[in-house]
Amino acid sequence: MFKRRKSLASERKREIFSRGVTRSMLKNDLRNFHCLSQLVLSAGPLKSAPVVKHSKTAHFEIEILDAQTRKQICIVDKVVQTSTIHDVKQKFHKACPKWYPSRIGLQLERGGPFLKDYITIQSIATSSIVTLYFTDLGQQVSWTTVFLAEYTGPLIIYLLFYLRIPYIYDMKESSRRFCHPVVHLACFCHCIHYIRYLLETLFVHKVSAGHTPLKNLIKGCAFYWGFTSWIAYYINHPQYTPPSFGNRQVTVSAIIFLELMPVFQVQIITPSHGCFSWFHVLTTPTRLDHGLVSQS
């Protein structure tokens, strides 16, 4: 009996000792887990490795040749698909500063049509190397300059004849002659007409940002200024006589002029040919492809 009690006591001691060991191990495991979780949380979210993206954008090489001699002028490289002819002109201007973009004409073939600025390289390219032919378009001016020069000249020229400045009429005869009231009315209508055109050009019409050769400016100014000088010389001449039908004819003409004032007379100039055409546009908004946009 004594031995059995002794064995039972030893077994209880072992059981108590094993329980204490397991409890201490659990406490250590909990402490280690807590430290590990704190370390993970302090490290922040896991970042994935950056994915290397390979660019699939195709680049073109633009070879620009002289349209007459077929000699190579320059090569524009690293041109992307979305680039336009305008972008090519900008890079061409950087390579050859003496030719600014509005003066550069590019063609796919010699003698072919000039490529528009909005055309993309991808639409005309058949390979990675594109050959374009260059033509010098000459001195260029903006459309706003063209319209302002055409309309400002007649306004100033008519006033010079109306004031009868020296070297146009005989001074003695001009001082003696009395100006008929219709002469003053004609000057008023003429000035209102061209002042309206100038205001429409600046504030009503939307002039495109394109350019035209300098010769078209010279042609337009020669027409407007010459015709104004011709009619102003006779209307403001000291020997001018009033209309045959008197005030009746003057009144009818003034009424017709006032009725035509709300009608916009729009000038269209085609950049490729430089020809002039006229038509009447009422007060409804109208968009024109070349040079000008009429809007009331």
Same domain flag for 155 and 111: no
Same domain flag for 156 and 127: no
Q: Quote the percentage of the chain above a pLDDT of 90.
A: 34
Q: Rounded to whole angstroms, how far apart are CA atoms 280 and 288?
A: 13
Determine, yes or no, domain membership for 290. Answer: no
Same domain flag for 115 and 215: no
Closest by CA to 64, choosing from 23, 28, 115, is 115
Q: Rounded to whole angstroms, how far apart are CA atoms 32 and 121?
A: 65
Which residues, at least 6 apart from 173, have a Cβ–Cβ distance to it below 8 Å? 238, 239
Judge whether 140 and 103 are in contact, CB under 8 Å.
yes
Same domain flag for 129 and 174: no
Same domain flag for 264 and 155: yes
At residue 46, the pLDDT reads 52
64: part of which helix (H) or strand (E)? strand 59-66
Determine, yes or no, domain membership for 296. Answer: no
Which residues, at least 6 apart from 125, have a Cβ–Cβ distance to it below 8 Å? 60
Token pair listed for 282? 């009422």
76: part of which helix (H) or strand (E)? strand 72-80
pLDDT at 211 over 60: yes
Same domain flag for 147 and 244: yes
Segment 150-192, tens digit of pLDDT: 999 999 999 999 998 878 888 777 777 778 888 998 999 999 9
Q: Which of these ranges, 15-29, 245-259, 261-275, has the smallest mean pLDDT?
A: 261-275
Determine, yes or no, domain membership for 46. Answer: no
At residue 152, the pLDDT reads 96
pTM of full prediction above 0.85: no
Residue recorded with tokens 């429409």: 200
Determine, yes or no, domain membership for 79. Answer: yes
Which is more confidently placed, 284 or 208? 208
Determine, yes or no, domain membership for 22. Answer: no
Q: 72 has which bridge partners?
A: 65
Phi, psi dihedrals of residue 148, rounded to the nearest 5°: -65, -40
- Cα angle value 291/294/296 (rounded, 5°): 160
Same domain flag for 210 and 230: yes
Judge whether 216 and 143 are in contact, CB under 8 Å.
no
Determine, yes or no, domain membership for 54. Answer: no
Last residue of a domain, one of 72, 106, 138: 138
Judge whether 158 and 190 are in contact, CB under 8 Å.
yes
pLDDT mean over 227-254: 85
Same domain flag for 97 and 164: no
* CATH code of 91's domain: 3.10.20.90
**Domain limits at 236?**
142-269
Phi, psi dihedrals of residue 121, rounded to the nearest 5°: -70, -35
Quote the number of domains for the chain.
2
Q: Rounded to whole angstroms, how far apart are CA atoms 33 and 29?
A: 6
Q: Quote the percentage of the chain above a pLDDT of 70.
A: 67
Which is more confidently placed, 10 or 69? 69
Last residue of a domain, one of 92, 118, 138: 138
The alpha carbon of residue 109 and the mean position of all alpha carbons in its chain are separated, in whole angstroms, by: 27
Same domain flag for 158 and 265: yes
pLDDT at 267 over 60: no
At residue 28, the pLDDT reads 61
Same domain flag for 100 and 217: no
pLDDT at 3 over 70: no
At residue 92, the pLDDT reads 92
Determine, yes or no, domain membership for 232. Answer: yes
Q: What's the pLDDT band for 15 if we cut at 50, 70, 90?
A: low
Same domain flag for 147 and 264: yes
Same domain flag for 124 and 202: no
